Amino acid sequence: MTNLYREHILDHYRNPRNQGVLERADLSAQLDNPTCGDVVRLDIQLGEEKEEKRVQAARFSGQGCVISMAAASMLTEWLTGKTLTEMAALRDEDMLAMVGAPLGAVRSKCALLPLRTLQAALKQLPTT
Amino acid sequence: MTTNSFNVEAIRADFPIMTRKVYGKPIAYLDNAASSQKPRQVLEAMDTFYRNHYANVHRGIHTLSEEATAAYEAARERIAAFINAPDPRGVIFTRNATEAINLVAYSWGRAHLSPGNRIVVTAMEHHSNLVPWQMLARSVGAELNHVPVTPEGRLALDELERLLDKRVKLVACTHISNVVGTVNPIREIVARVRAQAPAARVVVDAAQSIPHLPIDTQKLGADFYAFSGHKMCGPTGIGVLYGRPELLETMPPFLTGGEMIRRVNLMEATWAEIPAKFEAGTPAVVQAIGLGAAVDYLSTVGMEAIWAHGRQLITYAMDRLSELPGVRMIGPPAEERGALISFLVEGIHPHDLSQVLNDEGIAIRAGYHCAEPLHTALGVGPTARASFYLYNTREEVNRLVFGIRKAQSILLDFL
């Protein structure tokens, strides 16, 4: 038994956190995985801090398998309160650890789709 | 051969992998449309050849090379007989069905098509019988048209009739759909093409039909057939293009280099006769011999019996799946299909279904099955697919049904 559908994953799938869209997002991106049809959109609103801005709100929307949707939900929880530097430093292994289930090569792409969406959103920032 | 003489337990005993367990459960391999398992007769034929007869073909004046050449050419003859091809020279060994179709597109297509000509494909094609024609159409300035698919997963043959005229130079069609399982009426399609577009050549993607169905290429009447060895109990790395020799003889080479030439000087070369003209470089000798052994194996079991067994399994599977709440089957009724079924389980992504089934030792395919346009035409996203072969059983269908129920109980909220 791979035990992929462990309780915390199913909990995020059934009761997604931060699902929705932000009308006034500072960063947003949408990516799909053409081999399985999964789509993830991410909207991020930054706070008013003068120095280092932190994520005030993050929302995800889209459609897909349990893994991609649960990972998106987990990512938005993690994002809340993070700085741009912290977001940019999030690596594949961090995202996979967040999901916390043994994923093969194919299913890892499902878990990494929300991270790829975040990375696409971060690219919109003007380089200073 | 009657189905009574078809002994599935004896067949399973020929396939070493059937003793494999996945997560402690016996493997139920239901992904045969992607690739089939191999009987020991095929594995042993290749092993024996490597151990006792191996050398390059068509070159050495020595015993091993002569034995290797004889075995390689004998495999060609057995494959020709298997599809009732009158002349083994029409059997070209390729890497797979994809390469076979590309051979026609690059060689015949570029030599014969010009701007204003038309290529007709169907909306049911695997990407391997679609993308090469897109590339060809673009490179020669031809128009690409497609025969649509009805909501039931059948070809809209009236549309084919409307599309066919003297500008059509090539018609490419799958024999059995790898997604909806539909068996297309190739003889009827060929007859319409001959009547309305006499200059057009017909290419049949037989990758899903030749492993399952007794095929008589002369009766079907098309010009080219492409298929892969690995879907018919043979090894990977070997496929076949069968073409009528008189056509192949007029075609320029596809790949060039050694083996396929007659004379070479520093400035130019002349071509060998077929089939060598289309087999540049050292061929997949051992894999061709493995495919020859696969054809022998399938013939011994009997293609009529294999087809009948697949028909029984698909009928049983569709009956059982229809009893499950939330399961939607895609494509025509069982009477019109080969041994495969694509379906959706309401509320469950096919990847998740496949993952839960894997925990039960059941291998299915999930996704677009390399036929994204067909999914678009049918208005569905990715699907789950179970595909059967000679070694599958009703018991495995029962396990599939049980596994789907288990996925539903894990992943859906039943309030």
Gap between the Cα atoms of B52 and A30, Å rounded: 58
Handedness of CA B90, B94, B98, B101 (dihedral sign): negative
Domain ranges in chain B with CATH number 3.90.1150.10: 3-30+302-411
* Chain A residues close to B353, C-beta within 8 Å: none
A-B C-beta contacts closer than 8 Å:
45
**pLDDT one-digit tens code per residue, B10-65:** 999 999 999 999 999 999 999 999 999 999 999 999 999 999 999 999 888 899 99
| Four-CA torsion B294, B300, B303, B309, nearest 10 degrees | -100
DSSP track, B99-156: HHHHHIIIIIIHHH--TT-EEEEETT--GGGTHHHHHHHHHHT-EEEEE-B-TTS-B-
| CATH class, B3-30+302-411 region | alpha beta
Residue A127 has pLDDT above 70, yes or no: no
* Chain B residues close to A103, C-beta within 8 Å: none
**Which of B131, B94, B104, B340 is CA-nearest to residue B222?**
B104
CA distance A92 to chain B (A): 21
The token duo for B344 is: 């959706």
| CATH class, B43-300 region | alpha beta
Gap between the Cα atoms of A79 and A73, Å rounded: 10
CA distance B329 to chain A (A): 18
Are B352 and A65 a contacting pair at CB < 8 A? Answer: yes
Q: What are phi and psi of B294, to 5 degrees?
A: -65, -45
Query: What is the set of domains in chain A, with CATH numbers?
Result: 7-122 (3.90.1010.10)
Nearest-Cα residue of chain B relative to residue A109 = B351
- 3-state SS of B186-253 is HHHHHHHHHHHCCCCEEEEECCCCCCCCCCCHHHHCCCEEEEECHHHCCCCCCEEEEECHHHHHHCCC
**Which of B275, B300, B223, B295 is CA-nearest to residue B73?**
B275
Nearest-Cα residue of chain A relative to residue B414 = A14
> Cβ of A37 under 8 Å from any chain B Cβ?
yes
CA distances from A104 to A109, B137, B204, B355 (A): 9, 39, 36, 10
Residue B105: CB partners within 8 Å, gap ≥ 6?
Answer: B132, B133, B135, B136
| Contact criterion met (CB below 8 Å) for B348 and B327 | no
> Cβ of A36 under 8 Å from any chain B Cβ?
yes
The token duo for B229 is: 């060895």
Domain ranges in chain B with CATH number 3.40.640.10: 43-300
Model confidence, pTM: 0.92
Write the single-letter amino acid at A15: N
Gap between the Cα atoms of B222 and B218, Å rounded: 8
Are B382 and A110 a contacting pair at CB < 8 A? Answer: no
* Chain B residues close to A32, C-beta within 8 Å: none
The token duo for B304 is: 């009529």
Gap between the Cα atoms of B266 and B244, Å rounded: 32
| Contact criterion met (CB below 8 Å) for A8 and A100 | yes
Out of B23, B349, B413, whose CB is closest to A64? B349
Gap between the Cα atoms of A117 and A42, Å rounded: 7
Asked if omega into B252 is within 30° of 0 (cis), the reply is no
| DSSP conformation class of B61 | S
Please list the active-site residues of B: 370
At B269 the three-state DSSP class reads: strand
Here the ipTM equals 0.84
Predicted local distance difference test score (pLDDT) of residue B208: 98
The token duo for B64 is: 């091993």
DSSP track, A54-123: BEEEEEEEEE--HHHHHHHHHHHHHHTT-BHHHHHT--HHHHHHHH-S---HHHHHHHHHHHHHHHHHHT
Gap between the Cα atoms of B383 and B67, Å rounded: 47
Q: What is the pLDDT along chain B (415 residues), one digit of tens a residue?
A: 444 579 999 999 999 999 999 999 999 999 999 999 999 999 999 999 999 999 999 888 899 999 999 999 999 999 999 999 999 999 999 999 999 999 999 999 999 999 999 999 999 999 999 999 999 999 999 999 999 999 999 999 999 999 999 999 999 999 999 999 999 999 999 999 999 999 999 999 999 999 999 999 999 999 999 999 999 999 999 999 999 999 999 999 999 998 898 999 999 999 999 999 999 999 999 999 999 999 999 999 999 999 999 999 999 999 999 999 999 999 999 999 999 999 999 999 999 999 999 999 999 999 999 999 999 999 999 999 999 999 999 999 999 999 999 999 999 865 4
Are A66 and B367 a contacting pair at CB < 8 A? Answer: no
Predicted local distance difference test score (pLDDT) of residue B414: 55
CA distances from B362 to B4, B187, B218, B350 (A): 27, 36, 38, 14
| Contact criterion met (CB below 8 Å) for B184 and B176 | yes
